[in-house]
């Protein structure tokens, strides 16, 4: 049953917006170190309201309504409005939960920093934007949220803007995302031109039974649905840091760690997956686009996992791990398992936010991000270490932790999605599961176990973080353990509540997978657990038991693969040489000097100059000698008479 939105729903994004305005306007001068009260209170109330909304949605109520007409021009009419259905409700919980915890955590982590109120203003603005994104009832408002979270990401990555690397990273994030948004915007244009509206209701109801016309694009015969789907996917590729637009996310780690947890792990980067799930009706029309989505997801997950193997910056490892896990989610959407993708998004939010916040806690203690300078922290910071362990077990997909259920569901649905294509996707996913466990525990063993390898004077100052930081860790840890239990697999004799809940929005994929036996499903599950354990074991063998093994392994692999992984496949360098430098070179050496300077300015300045030159030449006739003039007059006179006689004679 669909109902009108109420003021309560407007408050969900409204409160963070209000907090942003208060902190933004008065923070720097008056509120200062008290800014967290306003921001955290606002987002906490939003969380309560979100939970209330979720409960209502679970009773079968959905909400849809416009607040006001935003743009009206010709046939285009776009509103600002909300649509709250099952998918939105799940996202609301993810966003407000993680956001609240990160607000809380930051009280300790950011304590005493310059720009404290600015930080909270940005966080509130981000929460507002993200909520507008997920609650939107039309594509343009989605686009607004999409860009607005990008802006917050830009501002927060560049929070320490005195650092050149941070300023550059923020800019890079924004511009790389713009490449994706370019496709996204074109997708919106095509949707509007095809369906005459940008409202979800109108578009998605028109899609039912719509026959996608064949069109030709750059000489390729294809159909409109594929084009639209792929253009929308461009946006998702940018925001969710999929290959080839993944380059911004690792650099985004320049931002404060709570930001990495909130924006670059749990919420904003999953917006791409949300988009895929939201637009499932469009993607379902085009098997070709789905295949592209699935392959992109699989490639990204493998690609990022291999890079994560060799990175030494703790946040970068987690960042590549995030890209890899996002690849999983996209892969799930690509095989039509949207609910599995969203399920993984949901569980991932907990354990990945936990990993980042744990890493933040470590950085807070060590004041370093390089895992080569850590080690043996377990005895100094037990809460951080234990929660970090649990998060890593969860991401490695070990039962009965949250990550196991979602990852297993994705792997199984990929395997059973049909043919050798599905099997290849599954094989990639399983390999990535092994790699994930390996690099996750590599970090654990290097950080928390063994001997402390940092500077000696630091060793005495190692300490557990304050309660405002450890409490969010413990709360998230509960999520990392138990979040998956709402989606227990049907194989175990449960109803998959999560998938059932999302069914009205994203459909159900299991029905098409009837051809596979239960034993196969058990086998897949066992293999994925085995892969996780194997990775854990290898990491233990290499980094905990015998500590010179990694150097030997690196030495053995030293050649091409290690350098390739370590330098992130040189993607940044490739872009630099292929896109950035040529643009600047063309601007400097062709546009400024040749076309503007030589051609246009040449003509512009050339005309007056040639006029001047001609008159230089003509002025010689003005000799100043009176007799010359007289002679010219006389001869001119004769010529005129002669001419007039000839002319008269001619007639």
Partner 1 sequence: MIPVTWYMMLSAAIFCIGIFGFIARRNVIIMFISIELMLNAVNINLVAMSHYLQDMRGQILVFFIIAVAAAEAAIGLAIIISLFRNRATVHVDEIKEMEG
Partner 2 sequence: MNSIILNSLSYPVLTVLIFLPILGGVLLMLAPRASNAGIKFWALAVTLLNFTLSIPLLTNFDKTTWKWQFAEYKAWISAWNINYALGIDGISILFVMLSALVGILCVLVSWNAVTTKIKEFYVAILFIEGAMIGVFCALDFFLFYIFWEAMLIPMYLLIGIWGGPGRLYATIKFFLFTLAGSLLMLVGIIILYLKSGGVFFIPELMSLSGSYPLKLQLLLWFAFFAAFAVKVPMLPVHTWLPDAHTEAPAAGSVILAAVLIKMGAYGFLRFSIPFFPEATKLLAVPMMVLSVAAIIYGAVICFAQTDMKRLIAYSSVSHMGFITLGIFALNTNGLEGGILQMINHGVVTGGLFLMIGIIYERTHSREIAYYGGIAQKVPVYAVFFLIFTLSAIGFPATNGFIGEFLVLLGGFTKNRTLGVLAATGVILGAGYMLGLYRRMFFQQLSDNVKALVDLNLRETLTLIPMFVLVFWIGLYPNVFLGFMHASVEHLIEQVSNGTGGMSLAQLLLER
Q: Do the Cβ atoms of 356 and 249 come closer than 8 Å?
A: no
- Smallest gap from residue 114 Cβ to partner 2 (A): 9
Subset of 191-210 contacting partner 2 (CB under 8 A): 192-193
Query: What is d(CA 2, CA 11) in angstroms, rounded to the nearest whole number?
Result: 19
3-state secondary structure of 267: coil
- Residue 614 contacts partner 1 per CB under 8 A: no
Name the binder of 621 from partner 1, partner 2, none, CB < 5-8 A by kind.
partner 1
- Smallest gap from residue 622 Cβ to partner 1 (A): 3
CB environment 40-68: b (16+ within 10 A), e (fewer): bebbbbbbebbeebbebbeeeebbbbbee
- Residue 223 contacts partner 2 per CB under 8 A: no
Position among 11, 18, 28, 431 found at the interface with partner 2 (CB under 8 A):
28
**Cα-only R_g, the chain:** 32
- Residue 600 contacts partner 2 per CB under 8 A: yes
Name the binder of 378 from partner 1, partner 2, none, CB < 5-8 A by kind.
none
Neighbouring-strand partners of residue 65:
82
Residues 6+ apart with CB under 8 A from 551: none
Query: Which helix (DSSP H) or strand (DSSP E) does residue 317 occupy?
Result: helix 314-334
Name the binder of 630 from partner 1, partner 2, none, CB < 5-8 A by kind.
partner 1
Contact window for partner 1 (CB under 8 A) among 4-12, 24-32, 327-335, 619-627: 619-627
- Residue 623 contacts partner 1 per CB under 8 A: yes
Q: Which residue has the tokens 């994203």?
A: 506
Q: CB-wise, 625 or 648, nearer to partner 1? A: 625
Name the binder of 587 from partner 1, partner 2, none, CB < 5-8 A by kind.
partner 2
Q: Which of 273, 204, 232, 210 is nearest to 64 (CA)?
A: 204
3-state secondary structure of 112: coil
Query: What is d(CA 433, CA 328) in angstroms, rounded to the nearest whole number?
Result: 10
Q: Do the Cβ atoms of 219 and 273 come closer than 8 Å?
A: no
Q: Which burial class, exposed, middle or buried, applies to 210 when counting CB atoms under 10 A from its CB (0-12, 13-18, 19+)?
A: middle
Q: Do the Cβ atoms of 40 and 127 come closer than 8 Å?
A: no
Position among 29, 518, 545, 619 found at the interface with partner 1 (CB under 8 A):
619
- Smallest gap from residue 74 Cβ to partner 2 (A): 3
Position among 217, 630, 641, 643 found at the interface with partner 1 (CB under 8 A):
630
Position among 209, 514, 624, 650 found at the interface with partner 1 (CB under 8 A):
624
Contact window for partner 2 (CB under 8 A) among 164-172, 309-317, 366-374, 551-559: 164-172
Mark out the alpha helices in 224-286 (DSSP H runs).
224-239, 248-251, 257-261, 271-278, 280-284
Q: CB-wise, 17 or 310, nearer to partner 2? A: 17
Position among 587, 594, 633, 643 found at the interface with partner 2 (CB under 8 A):
587
Position among 60, 112, 627, 648 found at the interface with partner 1 (CB under 8 A):
627
3-state secondary structure of 277: helix
Phi, psi of 63 (to 5 degrees): -125, 145
Query: What is d(CA 136, CA 148) in angstroms, rounded to the nearest whole number?
Result: 13
Mark out the alpha helices in 136-163 (DSSP H runs).
139-157
- Residue 21 contacts partner 2 per CB under 8 A: no
- Torsion 494-495-501-505 (CA) sign: positive
Q: CB-wise, 122 or 320, nearer to partner 2? A: 122
Query: What is d(CA 150, CA 174) in angstroms, rounded to the nearest whole number?
Result: 6
3-state secondary structure of 396: coil
Subset of 56-115 contacting partner 2 (CB under 8 A): 68-76
CB environment 471-503: b (16+ within 10 A), e (fewer): ebbebbbebbbebbebbbbeeeeeebebbebbb
Q: Which residue has the tokens 């690196």?
A: 554
- Smallest gap from residue 189 Cβ to partner 2 (A): 5
- Smallest gap from residue 99 Cβ to partner 2 (A): 20
- Residue 609 contacts partner 2 per CB under 8 A: no
Contact window for partner 2 (CB under 8 A) among 242-250, 510-518, 564-572, 599-607: 599-607
Position among 603, 625, 646, 648 found at the interface with partner 1 (CB under 8 A):
625
Contact window for partner 1 (CB under 8 A) among 37-45, 297-305, 340-348, 625-633: 625-633
The contact mask relative to partner 2 for 134-163 (x = CB under 8 A, - = no) is: ------x--xx--xx--x--x---x--xxx
Position among 558, 583, 610, 644 found at the interface with partner 2 (CB under 8 A):
583
Phi, psi of 306 (to 5 degrees): -65, -35
Q: CB-wise, 467 or 645, nearer to partner 1? A: 645
Contact window for partner 1 (CB under 8 A) among 294-302, 345-353, 450-458, 623-631: 623-631
Enumerate binding residues for partner 1 (CB under 8 A). Answer: 619-627, 630-631, 634
Q: Which residues bind partner 2 (CB under 8 A)?
A: 28, 68-76, 140, 143-144, 147-148, 151, 154, 158, 161-164, 166-168, 170-171, 174-175, 178-179, 181-182, 185-186, 189, 192-193, 583-584, 586-588, 591-592, 595-596, 600-601, 604, 608
């Amino acid at each position: 049953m669909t109902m009108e939105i109420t003021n309560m729903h407007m408050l969900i994004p409204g409160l963070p917006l209000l907090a942003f305005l208060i902190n933004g306007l008065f923070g720097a001068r008056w509120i200062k170190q008290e800014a967290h009260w306003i921001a955290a209170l606002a987002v906490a109330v939003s969380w309560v309201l979100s939970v209330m909304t979720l409960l209502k949605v679970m009773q079968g109520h959905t909400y849809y309504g416009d607040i006001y007409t935003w743009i009206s021009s010709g046939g285009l009419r776009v509103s600002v409005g909300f649509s709250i259905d099952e998918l939105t409700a799940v996202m609301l919980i993810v966003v407000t939960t993680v956001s609240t915890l990160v607000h809380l955590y930051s009280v300790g982590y950011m304590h005493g920093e310059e720009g404290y109120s600015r930080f909270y203003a940005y966080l509130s603005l981000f929460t507002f934007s993200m909520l507008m994104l997920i609650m939107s009832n039309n594509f343009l408002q989605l686009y607004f949220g999409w860009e607005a979270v990008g802006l917050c990401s830009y501002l927060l990555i560049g929070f320490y803007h005195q650092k050149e690397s941070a300023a550059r990273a923020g800019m890079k994030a924004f511009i790389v995302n713009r490449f994706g948004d370019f496709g996204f915007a074109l997708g919106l244009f095509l949707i509007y031109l095809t369906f005459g509206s940008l409202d979800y209701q109108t578009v998605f109801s028109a899609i039912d039974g719509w026959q996608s016309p064949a069109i030709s694009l750059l000489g390729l015969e294809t159909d409109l649905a594929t084009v639209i789907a792929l253009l929308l996917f461009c946006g998702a590729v940018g925001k969710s840091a999929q290959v080839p637009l993944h380059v911004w996310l690792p650099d985004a780690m320049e931002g404060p760690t709570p930001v990495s947890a909130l924006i670059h792990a749990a919420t904003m980067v999953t917006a791409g997956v949300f988009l895929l799930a939201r637009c499932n009706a469009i993607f379902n029309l085009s098997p070709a686009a789905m295949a592209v989505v699935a392959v992109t997801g699989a490639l990204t997950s493998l690609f990022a996992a291999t890079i994560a193997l060799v990175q030494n910056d703790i946040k970068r490892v987690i960042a590549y791990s995030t890209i890899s896990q996002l690849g999983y989610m996209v892969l799930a959407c690509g095989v039509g398992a949207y609910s599995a993708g969203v399920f993984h998004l949901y569980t991932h939010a907990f354990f990945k936010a936990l990993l980042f916040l744990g890493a933040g806690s470590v950085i807070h203690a060590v004041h370093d991000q390089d895992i080569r300078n850590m080690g043996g922290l377990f005895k100094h910071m037990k809460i951080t270490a234990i929660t970090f362990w649990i998060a890593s077990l969860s991401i490695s997909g070990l039962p009965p932790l949250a990550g196991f259920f979602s990852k297993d569901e994705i792997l199984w649905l990929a395997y059973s999605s049909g043919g050798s294509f599905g099997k290849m996707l599954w094989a990639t996913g399983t390999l990535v599961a092994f790699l994930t466990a390996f690099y996750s525990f590599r970090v654990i063993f290097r950080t928390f176990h063994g001997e402390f390898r940092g500077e000696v004077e630091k060793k005495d100052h190692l300490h557990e973080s304050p309660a405002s930081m450890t409490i969010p860790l413990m709360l998230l840890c509960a999520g990392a353990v138990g979040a998956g239990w709402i989606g227990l697999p049907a194989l175990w004799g449960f109803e998959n509540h999560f998938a059932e809940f999302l069914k009205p929005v994203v459909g159900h994929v299991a029905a098409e997978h009837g051809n596979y036996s239960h034993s196969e499903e058990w086998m897949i599950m066992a293999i994925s657990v085995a892969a996780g354990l194997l990775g854990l074991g290898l990491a233990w063998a290499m980094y905990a038991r015998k500590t010179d093994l990694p150097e030997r392994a690196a030495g053995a692999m030293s050649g091409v693969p290690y350098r390739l992984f370590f330098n992130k496949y040189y993607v940044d360098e490739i872009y630099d040489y292929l896109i950035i430098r040529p643009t600047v070179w063309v601007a400097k050496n062709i546009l400024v000097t040749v076309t503007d300077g030589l051609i246009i300015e040449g003509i512009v300045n050339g005309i007056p100059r040639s006029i001047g030159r001609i008159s230089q030449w003509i002025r010689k006739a003005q000799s100043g000698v009176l007799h010359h003039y007289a002679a010219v007059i006389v001869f001119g006179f004769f010529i005129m008479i002669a001419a007039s006689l000839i002319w008269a004679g001619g007639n």
